Each structure stands twice: as structure tokens, then as C-alpha cells.
Structure 1
Amino acid sequence: MPSSKKLVPILQTVGALLAAFWVAGAYAGTLSEEDELALVYGDNATVSIATGSSQELRRAPSVASVITAEDIAAMGATDLDEVLESVPGLHVSHASIRYASIYMVRGLGGGNQVNPQILLLQNGIPMTAMYNGDRGSAWNAVPLENVARIEVIRGPGSALYGADAFSGVINIITKTAADTPGTEFGVRVGSFNTRNVWTQYGGEAGEVEVAAYLHAGSSDGIGEVTRAVSSPEPGAVSTDYDAVDGSLNLSYDKWRFRTNYKLRDNVGTGAGVSRALDPASKSRAEHITSDISWTDTQFAQNWSAGATASYLYYSMEYPDNLMLLPPSAWPPDGMIGGPNQWERQQRYSGFAVYSGLTDHIVRLGLGYDDLEIYKTRTYKNYMFNSSGIPVYTGPVTDYSDIQPHIRPQQRQVSYVFAQDEWRFAPDWTLTAGVRHDHYSDFGDTTNPRAALVWAAAYNLTAKLIYGRAFRAPSFNEQYGINPVANGNPNLGPERIATSEAAVSWQVDKDLLMNLNVYRYDAKDIIRLIGGYFTNIGAVHGSGGELESVWDINRRLRLTGNYSYQQTIDEVSQADAGYVPHHHLFLRGDMRLAASWMASMKFNWIADRQRAVGDARPDVADYKTVDIFLRTEQLENSWDVAVSVRNLFNARVLEPTLAPGTALPDDLPMARRSFYIQALYYL
């Protein structure tokens, strides 16, 4: 637990923030009656990710959070990581390589350079890159202008969503024509030479509803200084990038077509990919998805049905290769490597919902996925000898046929699932489901779930939830070619079983409180043992999350959540390491006048222990404050927003890994930064 010395400044800061908002709220309350407009946060009382169908959030058979476009605008968030940091039980950390986002959920996700334990969906379709089993490199600096809502499940989701819904599921739902009436143009500039421009449109072309979006952005990166053991002196981390995002959404009757494009070019290596800072090397990631879906809510009497076909293309390239070690550590040219790969995925799925049985809603589904790395290229100036020692070979050469980092691989997955929502009494609902997956490479896995929901009173709901989930091994873990991290084709999936209890209490019309506690046991965790990936690890964790929404008056809303977790590595019988035991997030939104709105966010991260074998002191705690001010539909349809991130210039660090860490210091995050944004509506 945090000491009293830690708590005193935290409480003082929180108290000062609340006092400032209370005074401002009291002043705002003296304005004229016509200026007193209620805050609007969109439809955050319903969720579809929990069962596949829309239902009340408090009655959903899971612990879930919903963030709407209106909510995103109110908090001033401009990137996906900002929104997810506000979710109870979820902390956004960063890897040293490319400063890639690591989503830690309930103690899971720490101690790794990749993030395969959580499933990211876009419009219900997995965005998983097969090489590392996570989102890949095109999902950094994700803009939010085209996001209608974000739904997050904390806990297992494999009974509906299959692989990688291990610690949780995130579904990003993009805007349709109805969400974007007319045309919008936007521009944002700020610290670190950050620049963004975008436009989006929603309308109709005959009977076809059309939504289109295009965004371009770039940044020179935060420029914070760190050290690496093989670099001759400290240097700035490389977090610069160029970004392009685009989408097209067409809807006609029961049909919908969507296509999305992401490009992340000239992306810096963060703190380097090996043991050296590498300010010169850049990466390029391209991500294209398309899907066509058909849904008929009245397919037949008591039946609704739907089907989806999707295609995903993903490439990860290093156009000028990587400096793995500098010339001072690997003469004469330095150790240079360029592992490139190209992926494609086809997914086909269908579902049917039957409501003809009294008090039952039955959902059935099946699907087939064809997933592959279809091309690889490996460039380097060295080869591994028979002892696994790298030997300099001269100029950079294409070793794709002789000694690649991985060869093309393919995996097929077929699955079926069934789910029944049974309202067996007026205030009681039991949701039970099971999904069976067959993998062409490692075999079968079956994952059930059950949730009992009791509407104990008109303002009180209680839940008991149990679920199992799995994480499929990535292609790199199965087939990677590297003497210090060899793939193992005999790997099986990681497995987890989670039990939860939750209560939602609408204290009165202005105050909502949610509390949940959980316990999980994970086994067959994939770890490197003797240079090979092996199913050997096991962890168990427990914790709780408390969240509240309080509408103090018509013009002032306070939201907040506190999360506690403890995760134990069963091999070492010690803390699993690197994940915060305590996370407090507070936010105040205030209507200053008819067209002005202010928001303030406070984030406290505390008690991050090191893993066994890492003798460094614990990762430093931190607290940050962000402020945001925006207008709404001023004269001539202009909106303006200004924001300050990390107002008090706190030193924010995210952990590097050990033992024998190549980065003796932790990763520095952005200091105080300023942004201004303008929107114009036609």
C-alpha cells in the first residue's frame, strides 16, 4: 500500500483541483438561465461488446466501459491512449522499441516488449498482426475524430471473440453517416512540432449512406533523453512519425461496406530495438482493412441473422534497416539488420439470433479465418554461426533465403459458438455461452463463460461472472529464427480463468457508483527458457475497481475511478512486476457558458515493483494534470480548443525490462505540452 507520505501530496492535489472546479461551478451557476445547458455525453448507458447485441450497460454480463464521441470531445482526448488511460483497471505503458503502447489490464501485460494479451477490434473485426500477436506498428498515435464510441471489456472475452481476448477486449466503432452530418474540417498544432489536419463527411448519395474520413499528421517526437549500455553517451529517444488515416463507410438497406487505411511512416525506434539508441533508423507500417456485412433483424419470424467477410493487409518494413549496435561496439560498420514481413488475413463469420423461446435469447455463430505471413525479407551484415554467435559478413545483404528472421507461415482457424440469455425470473438473467476453436497448428480449445445478473432494485444491480479465455501463440513465438529467441512449433495457447463480482448502484439521479472485484489464474504462459519459447509460466491475480459519476449540478460533472491489483508470478512467488498496484483517475467537466466547456484530468500511477532479477529501485510513482478548454459552435460554425498536457511538468517514467537490461534507466514520457485546435463545420 502507498505510505502516508505518498498519500498526503496526492490528496492535497486532488483537493485543490476539486476546490477549483467547485468554485468555478458556483460562479457559472450565477449565469443566465438560458446559458445553463446540461452536459451531453452520448449513449454511454448501452453496450454491445458483451453479448453481440445492444443492451443496458448495468445489465450486461461483463464488466465493461463505454466512451462515446461526445465523451471524447468533453475530455479533450486526441489519441486512443488518452481515452484508454481513463478506463478502470487499464494503464497505458510503453515499450522501449518504437515507444509502442502497452495496454496493461488488471496486472496483465507487463514485462514484455509486445502486447498480445488484449484483443483490439475495429467494428468487431480483429486487428491482430500475426508476427507478434498484438496490434502491430500501425496503431501508434491513433486519432479519434472518426470514432463514434469505444467499448472495453475488462476480463476474458474468448467465449465470443476467440483468441487473444485474454485480459480484455477493446472495440473501436467508427462513425457512420448518421454520426457525421455534413462536412467537417479540422487542424491541430502543438508541442514537439506536432501537426494534424483532417476532414470528414457524412451524407447520402441516392439511397446509399456515405461517411468518409481523411487524416494526416506528423510529430518530431518528445525528445526526452535516456541511456543505453552500447551507446557511447546519453541521447534523445526517437519518437517522431508521419501518419495517414482514412476510411470510407457505405450503407445500403441491410448491407454495409467499410474500408480503412493506416500508414505510419518515418517512425522512430524509441529507445532502440537492441542495446543502442538509434536516432537515424525508421520504420514503415501499412495497414488496410475492408469488410462487407449483411444484417437482417427480421430474417424470419423470431430470427435475426448476419454475415461478415473481411480482408486485412499489414506490412512492417525498415527501409534503411536498423542499427542494432553502433560501430563502437561492433566495428567497423555497426550491427545492422532489417526484418521485414507482409501479412494478409481473410475472415468469414455468420450469426443467427433466435427469440422464439419464452424468456430466452439464443445466439449462434460460426466462422473461418485464413491468416498468413506471406512474404518476408531479412537484410543484415552478419550471420549466426553454429554456436549462435553473430559474425560480421561485410556489406548489408539479403539473407531471406539463407538465414531469415522468419519464413512465410499460415494458420487456419474454424470456430463455432452458442450463447443463451435466459431471464428465468423478473429480476434475474443468466447468460451462458461456449466457443470452440480449431487451429491448424496447435489444435483445439474450448472456452465457456457464465454471468448471473440480478436487478435487486430499480437502482441496484449485482453480477457474478465466470469466464475462460486463451491467447494463441504468435508466429514469432512458434516459428521465429533467432538463437536467443527461437520459435517453438509445439507451443500451445496461454489459458486464463477469471471470476468476478460486480455491483452498480444509482445512488440518486445525480450519482452513480460501480464496484467490482476479481480473481484470475493464468497458466501455460509463454516465456523464453534457454533460448526457446515455452509454455511454462503461471500467474494469479486479484483486485478491484471503484468508479463513480457525479453530476453536482447542471453544469458540473465529476467522474473518477480507482483500481487496485496484485499479480503474483507462481514460479518466483513474487510480484509479477512493472504494473501499477494503484491507479487513480479523476476528471471534472464544467460548462462555463453557453458555448464554453472546460475539462481537467488527474492521473496517479503508484507502486510499480520490479520483477525478480531486477535489482533496481521500484519504478517511480507519478501524478499528472491535464487541462482543456473548448468552444462549441461559435460564430460562423467555428470551434476552437486549447489544452495543456502534464500541466505541472511531472517527470513521468515507464519501466524498462531486466535482467541485464540494455536500458538502465526507465523510459521518459512527454513533459508539459501545449496544443491548439480549430474545427470548421459546413
Structure 2
Amino acid sequence: MFPKKMLLMLLVSGFLATLGQAAEGDELLEMSLDELLNVEVTTATKKAEKSDSAPATVYVVTADTIAARGYRNLKELLEDIPEIEIQSNAVAEFNNYFSIRGIAGNERFIVLLNGFRFNSPTGSPHVIEHNYPLVNVAQVEIILGPASALYGADAFGGIVNIITRDGEQGKGGVMDVAFGRFATQETALTYGHTFDRLRVSASAFRYESDEAVMPDFYPEEYAWYRNNYQQQGTALISPFIPVEIEIDPSLQNRPYETPNKAEFINLLVGTDQFQLGYSTNSERHSSSTGMRPEFNLFVGEALYRTDLESMFAKYQYKSSNERWFLDSSVWKGTYEIAPESAFLNTFTFYRPGYKYADAQTVKFEEQLTVDMGKRGTLIAGLSYEDVSALPKTGDLPAPFDPDLPADSQDLFYIGTDTTDAAGNDLTVEQAFFPVDYQNLAAYLQVSFSMRDTLDVTLGARFDDSTRYGSTFNPRLGLVKRFSPRLTFKFLYGTAFLAPSPYLALQHYGSFIPVDAEGNAAAGPEDTAGLFGPFWHLPNPDLAPEELTSFETSLAYYANDHWGLFINAYHNNVTDRVVNSGQFGRTFAGIPVGFAEVPINGGESDAYGGTLRLNYLGSLGSLQVNAFAAWSYADGEVDEGPLTYTAENTFRLVAELRAGKLTASPRLLVRGKSRHFLLDENGRNFENEAYEVVNLFARYRSLVKQGRWEIDTYLRVTNLFDERYTNVPLAQFEGFTATPQDPRFFSGGFTVKF
């Protein structure tokens, strides 16, 4: 199949060439490859600099590239970034599971919006799906590698900074409407304007889809859904007690439902010195995503919704000679697992098990930037954070009321609302673990040049938390320019991952009534007590994970059209949080068959690199901007093989332009990735290698009248309708290799006014 997909990309190129005409003012070929790739970034060092001078591996995706490749959201964009691997439809809670350079976990990198954090403020794993749409975006900056020396907690595997247009850059309005397979609808609206010196921009987005009915496309994997659930209304008690039981009649024989909905709003108001920003997003998906139908119900009530909100104010004071700047900012971020979020699975005994969590952080920061001319730049900063959170609750029998105190809501653990044969009440009240803590931090960074060919960056940051103690994280960056076309980088850095309230204090499981012999009781008259088949228990004493990273890279521009890029890295993580399986435990005084408890007992060692070739040029009237990248990764996790990262990954991404027509075929070839679970032979479960082709095409200026302009486009993902799998983050209640979406297509219009 691989040659077939390569042939498709060549056919698309040839088709465009036959339709080609003189490029109508397109700026692509007016630039060299060096100019196209070496754009200005701010995320790597918190100061503006060209990406080839930044002491980091930096990928910059501009608005022009986003439009040409048809990226709808941040997940699709990150899928094309070398050394990032995404296991899609792999996690019930946060849908997709990310790995960066062998470091797996959605909480192990930070997402920023206009330089301010836009994911959970307390480090809960964040959902990255349609809730991060790429509307009104100027560019996205991706930094691979540790960044705690500047950004503190959770800047572990990298930083993603989404930078939106202001009212001047995005002047006017844009409306985008698309319709696709599975009753999918997408709508986006942006508008920007300037009022004298005041710049205002606003954007809104909404996504809604029924999503694919997976039993129609994977009949073998979903055989239980067809043969048992639909026909008999049954499920299995648990992976540890594989006994078939009949579920509640109101939940039997229901149509397969896994709808997805996302919304996003962003406002930005400012002048040259002052900015106000507000953003919110919401994402809702099935809480049975990636799970086996023997242990999970695919009904509309099984949903998981998260809401984020971020607001900031920033003021920059410039000295009269503009040699030093003082940036003062205040930011507030909130995160909530919405009260209607619920699981219907083995852990809730197939009754709705509602979840809730909330968190908020208020952060004050002062940053001084001193331009020392030829001697370099100094950046110094102080920050203070005040954090409060209610970590994710256990499974609740009713939705949580955020307006009432937690301990006043008469919430109990599912399965305990019963009596024993003697009439004793067995109800166990829910335990909650709210936390409040503060973090004080100071950082310093010095950048200078030696003989105009060697740039040196030295930095460090000290954090002191009232909850998990203090950490110190240094960094060193050396950027050597051997010639205008050849640049070498050596990078060293450390980072820490804070033990989030989510990771340390969440707990889940369920209790079942049992008779005197320990078997499931038929009713209260047979009940002798309670038993928990499985529980995940909290551990408030977790310490931060620590990362030490080394990296080298080489960038060579052979000419204005060809570029070769090579990098290699080594990441070592200590005090890694792992789940310790334990027997003989109790929770709330009730025996537990098997318990897992998070502890600092792991270590991982990952190494690898990427070889990338970029081309910018033309084939007759066809303009081409393309790259091919091969990435290699290997290592160990807790003395076993590296998990959630393929050893070999190949990407081929092209932007092809001919007159008003643009097409972007994208090929992803990924080797096997390993699950953390072992089979009966002691080997890790894994998925099969696969190849997937996505295609996007846009016809520009279909209608053009004055300020009004209409583009039309077509998008196809999984063009060849492959049946392939990713590796989930689940135990035996989930697939060991999760089925992926079939072919999806959508089309729409972009109206500029």
C-alpha cells in the first residue's frame, strides 16, 4: 500500500500542473526556503528571535501553512510535527493520548494562547481535539524539549503557543462553514478592527458530530455490542470477574451513540503596550471512547465534558531609550469537569457514575528584559501563583452541585446504597480531597554572542510550592553558525512535572454487595457485606517527576530550494509516577480485590532523532512546498521497552499550488507502538504498523467582489479508508489496540468580508 499512496501524491501534483496557470501574486516563490522556515518566534526564550537562533528545536506553522494544509484544529497540526505521536480515540477521559520524544502524557506539555496557559491550570491531562480550533491564528510555535527553566511546572516535554491575529493583522471578517460525514457541522466566525490605536479581534467556533458508528466498520472488535448487548442486554461484571450480568432495562438495546461537540471563544483587545485577553473552550465526547463493549455502554448518557477559561491583562513599560522593558501581567485560569460528565461501565456497575472536578489559578508575574546591545540580552522574572482545586471525584450517584459544599450533598459510593440481611445500612459517603497551595518562582536568563558566530543562552528557574516543595531547573543553549547556510545547536535542560491534584488524589472504583461466601448477592436478603473488585486509590505524598535532556541539531540550506535538518536527543526521567498494583487493600474499611496506587517508582530513558528534508520550488507552473521526515525513537520505561512511541515514523507533507487551486496531500507511516500491558507471554501488547493519507484542496476566490471573497474547499482524512488501530491508555476494560476512524470527508466555504 505504501507505493500506492506515494503514487497518489504524484498524481495530485500532475493534476494540479495540468490545471496550472501563472501564479496570481502568490508570495510563496518570492521567498527562499531559509526565509520561509526561519521566522521570528518568542516562545523559546520569551523574546523575539529568529527560529534558527533560538536555543531549542522550534517548529513554526504560519497562517498561510494552516490555510494551505487545511488544518482544522491543533491536534491535526501536531500530528504532522516530527517526534510527536498521537494515539487517537485512546482514552475515555481525554480522547487522544500524546507522546513527545518518548515522554507520554497529555499533562507533560503546556498549551499557551498568546503566551498564557490555556490548559488545566493544575496539570490535569487536557483534551486536545476540536476545542482548539485554528481560527484567526497568526502562527503556532512548537518547542520540543524541556522548558521549566522559563515556564516552570509541567513544561516537561515541550510548549505549544497559539498566537492569534490582533485587530490590525486580522482586519475585517471571516466566516467558515463546513458539513461532513456522520452529520458533522463546523462553523467559525472571526472579526478584527482598529479604533485609532486600539486593536480588537474576536473569534468563535462550534463543532458538532455524531461521529462514526464503529460497530459498522469493526464488526469483529464490537461483536459483543451486536451479539450480547443489543440482543440480550448483558455486560461482564469486570475483567477480574468475567461473569455475564443483565444491565438496567432502560439502558438495553439502545442505538450506538458517541457524539462529539466543541466550542471556542477568543477575545483580544490591546494597544502597543497593553493587552486584555479572554478565551474559553468546551469539549464533550463519549466517556466510552476506546473501550471494549463488554465493559462499557455506548449510550448518550456516557459523556465526558471539560471546560476551560483563561483571562489575562498585560502591560509593558518601555524605558525612554528602549533598552529595557518591564512586562507586568496577571492571569486567571479555570478548569472544570462538568457535572453532567458520567461513566457507564464496569467501574460504576453499569449505572451512571458522575464525575466532577474544578481548579483555578491566579498568577502574577513581573518580567524585566534588558537589551545590552552587542553584549546580549538579560531576562529576569518573578511570579506568584495561588491555586485551589477539587480533584476529580469518585463515581457519584448524582450530578455534583458546584454551588453547594461537597460534604453537604449526601453523595455516596455507587453500590453501597443497600442494606445487609440484618437490615444494617451499608451506605458509604463519598470522600473529597480539596487542596489549596501557592507557588513562588524566580527565573534568570542571559543570552549573548561570541564573535558573532556563537550564541550562548544560560538560564535557571527556582520554584517553591507549599504543596510539593522546591525545584531548581537550569538550561544551556549553544548555537554555532559555521556559515550563513550551516547552523549547529547543542542544548541541555531540566524540567519538572508537578504531582497534580488529579494524579495524586483522584480515585475510582465501585462496590458490589456480596453474600457470606464472597459471591455477588442477589438482593439485600442475601447480602453479608460489600466488596470492591477494583479501586484506584489516592496518594497525597507524590513528588515531582524530573527530566534531564540533551540535544544536538544541524541545519543546512544547500541553496534557496533545499534544506537538510538533523537532530538527536536523549531524555531521562526519574521519580516517574507509576501505578503500583496491590492486593489485600481496603478502602473506606471495605476489602478490595485489586488496588492500584500511584507512586514515584519509575524511570524512563528515551533517545532518538529526526532526519528531515525540505523543498521549496516549482515544477512548471506548479509551486511546491514540501518536507519528508523520518523519526527514530527507542529506549526503556521501568526496565521495559518504550511505550506509546513508535520506533520508526515517516511523514511526507506537501503544499501544491497552481493558480487559484491549492492541494495538500499528507502521508503518515508509523511503526508499531507498545501498550504498557503485557500478554500471557510477558510481551507488551502493541498495534500494527499502518499508513494513512489525508488530503485537502482549496479553490481560492471562487467569488470575488470588492471586499467580499469566497473560497471553497474539500477535506478527506483516511483517504483509502484503512482499518487500523492505535494504542490506548486503558487496562483490561479497554482494547489493547483501539480501532480508528474510517474515511471522513467534509466540504465548506470560507467567506471573507
CA deviations 1:483-521 (Å, max 9, x no partner) are 732222221100010111100111110111211001121
- Preserved contact between residue 28 and residue 555 of structure 1 (Cα < 8 Å): no
Determine whether 1:184 maps to 2:174: yes
Between stretches 453-462 and 603-612, larger displacement belongs to 603-612
Between stretches 411-420 and 290-299, larger displacement belongs to 290-299
Post-superposition shift, 1:665? 4.7
- Preserved contact between residue 578 and residue 619 of structure 1 (Cα < 8 Å): no
Counterparts of 1:628-639 in structure 2, within 5 Å, are 628-636=696-704, 637-639=709-711
Secondary structure in structure 2 of the residue aligned to 1:633: strand
TM-score by length of 1: 0.88
Secondary structure in structure 2 of the residue aligned to 1:179: coil
* CA distance in structure 1 between the aligned counterparts of 2:256 and 2:135, rounded to whole angstroms: 28
* CA distance in structure 1 between the aligned counterparts of 2:341 and 2:450, rounded to whole angstroms: 63
Instruction: Choose the corresponding residue for 1:313, options 302, 324, 334.
Output: 334
Post-superposition shift, 1:604? 0.9
- Preserved contact between residue 640 and residue 676 of structure 1 (Cα < 8 Å): yes
* CA distance in structure 2 between the aligned counterparts of 1:203 and 1:533, rounded to whole angstroms: 50
Instruction: Choose the corresponding residue for 2:629, options 553, 556, 561.
Output: 561
1:3 matched residue in structure 2: none
Over 3 Å counting, the alpha-carbon distance change for 1:380 and 1:356 in structure 2 is closer
* CA distance in structure 2 between the aligned counterparts of 1:664 and 1:378, rounded to whole angstroms: 23
- Preserved contact between residue 363 and residue 386 of structure 2 (Cα < 8 Å): yes
1:393 matched residue in structure 2: 417
Over 3 Å counting, the alpha-carbon distance change for 1:678 and 1:613 in structure 2 is same
Post-superposition shift, 1:650? 0.9
How many residues align? The count is 648
1:4 matched residue in structure 2: none
Secondary structure in structure 2 of the residue aligned to 1:438: strand
Letter in 1 for 2:438: Q
- Preserved contact between residue 339 and residue 405 of structure 1 (Cα < 8 Å): no
CA deviations 1:377-399 (Å, max 9, x no partner) are 766359xxxxx99744159xxxx
1:241 matched residue in structure 2: 260
Secondary structure in structure 1 of the residue aligned to 2:76: helix
* CA distance in structure 1 between the aligned counterparts of 2:100 and 2:22, rounded to whole angstroms: 45
* CA distance in structure 2 between the aligned counterparts of 1:283 and 1:196, rounded to whole angstroms: 20
Letter in 1 for 2:259: D
- Preserved contact between residue 374 and residue 410 of structure 1 (Cα < 8 Å): no
Determine whether 1:655 maps to 2:727: yes
Determine whether 1:211 maps to 2:276: no
Instruction: Choose the corresponding residue for 1:295, options 296, 313, 316.
Output: 316
Post-superposition shift, 1:85? 0.6
Determine whether 1:224 maps to 2:214: yes
Ranges in structure 2 where 5+ consecutive residues have no aligned partner:
231-253, 399-411, 420-426, 510-534, 583-595
2:40 matched residue in structure 1: 46
- Preserved contact between residue 237 and residue 271 of structure 1 (Cα < 8 Å): no
Over 3 Å counting, the alpha-carbon distance change for 1:524 and 1:378 in structure 2 is closer
Letter in 2 for 1:293: K
Secondary structure in structure 1 of the residue aligned to 2:344: strand
Over 3 Å counting, the alpha-carbon distance change for 1:673 and 1:18 in structure 2 is closer
Over 3 Å counting, the alpha-carbon distance change for 1:153 and 1:40 in structure 2 is farther
Over 3 Å counting, the alpha-carbon distance change for 1:26 and 1:243 in structure 2 is closer
1:279 matched residue in structure 2: 299
- Preserved contact between residue 118 and residue 308 of structure 2 (Cα < 8 Å): no
RMSD across aligned C-alpha pairs, in angstroms? Answer: 3.0
Instruction: Choose the corresponding residue for 1:362, options 365, 373, 378.
Output: 378
Identical counterparts, % of pairs:
21
Over 3 Å counting, the alpha-carbon distance change for 1:97 and 1:54 in structure 2 is same
Post-superposition shift, 1:674? 1.1
Over 3 Å counting, the alpha-carbon distance change for 1:539 and 1:237 in structure 2 is farther
1:542 matched residue in structure 2: 607
* CA distance in structure 2 between the aligned counterparts of 1:305 and 1:407, rounded to whole angstroms: 39
- Preserved contact between residue 291 and residue 733 of structure 2 (Cα < 8 Å): no
2:102 matched residue in structure 1: 107
2:645 matched residue in structure 1: 579
- Preserved contact between residue 200 and residue 269 of structure 2 (Cα < 8 Å): yes
1:343 matched residue in structure 2: 359
- Preserved contact between residue 130 and residue 372 of structure 1 (Cα < 8 Å): no
Post-superposition shift, 1:422? 1.5
Letter in 2 for 1:620: E
* CA distance in structure 2 between the aligned counterparts of 1:626 and 1:216, rounded to whole angstroms: 22
* CA distance in structure 1 between the aligned counterparts of 2:454 and 2:391, rounded to whole angstroms: 52
TM-score by length of 2: 0.80
Post-superposition shift, 1:301? 5.3
Determine whether 1:467 maps to 2:467: no
Between stretches 119-128 and 58-67, larger displacement belongs to 119-128
Over 3 Å counting, the alpha-carbon distance change for 1:602 and 1:39 in structure 2 is farther
Over 3 Å counting, the alpha-carbon distance change for 1:318 and 1:468 in structure 2 is same
1:509 matched residue in structure 2: 560
CA deviations 1:102-158 (Å, max 9, x no partner) are 22111111xxxx6211122222222342566222x4855421112221111111111
Secondary structure in structure 2 of the residue aligned to 1:70: helix
Instruction: Choose the corresponding residue for 2:690, options 618, 622, 631.
Output: 622
Letter in 1 for 2:171: P
Determine whether 1:672 maps to 2:743: yes
Letter in 2 for 1:345: T
- Preserved contact between residue 208 and residue 260 of structure 2 (Cα < 8 Å): yes
- Preserved contact between residue 228 and residue 663 of structure 1 (Cα < 8 Å): no
Counterparts of 1:435-446 in structure 2, within 5 Å, are 435-446=461-472
Secondary structure in structure 1 of the residue aligned to 2:106: coil
State the structure with more CA Rg: 2
1:453 matched residue in structure 2: 479
Counterparts of 1:4-83 in structure 2, within 5 Å, are 9-10=1-2, 12-13=3-4, 15-24=6-15, 26-27=17-18, 31-32=21-22, 38=28, 45-83=39-77
Instruction: Choose the corresponding residue for 1:492, options 543, 548, 553.
Output: 543
1:527 matched residue in structure 2: 578
Over 3 Å counting, the alpha-carbon distance change for 1:431 and 1:132 in structure 2 is closer
- Preserved contact between residue 5 and residue 693 of structure 2 (Cα < 8 Å): no
Letter in 2 for 1:437: D
* CA distance in structure 2 between the aligned counterparts of 1:27 and 1:591, rounded to whole angstroms: 12
Determine whether 1:423 maps to 2:449: yes
* CA distance in structure 2 between the aligned counterparts of 1:525 and 1:121, rounded to whole angstroms: 25
* CA distance in structure 2 between the aligned counterparts of 1:230 and 1:96, rounded to whole angstroms: 20
Post-superposition shift, 1:223? 2.1
Between stretches 52-61 and 117-126, larger displacement belongs to 117-126
Over 3 Å counting, the alpha-carbon distance change for 1:243 and 1:658 in structure 2 is closer
Between stretches 193-202 and 630-639, larger displacement belongs to 630-639
2:269 matched residue in structure 1: 250
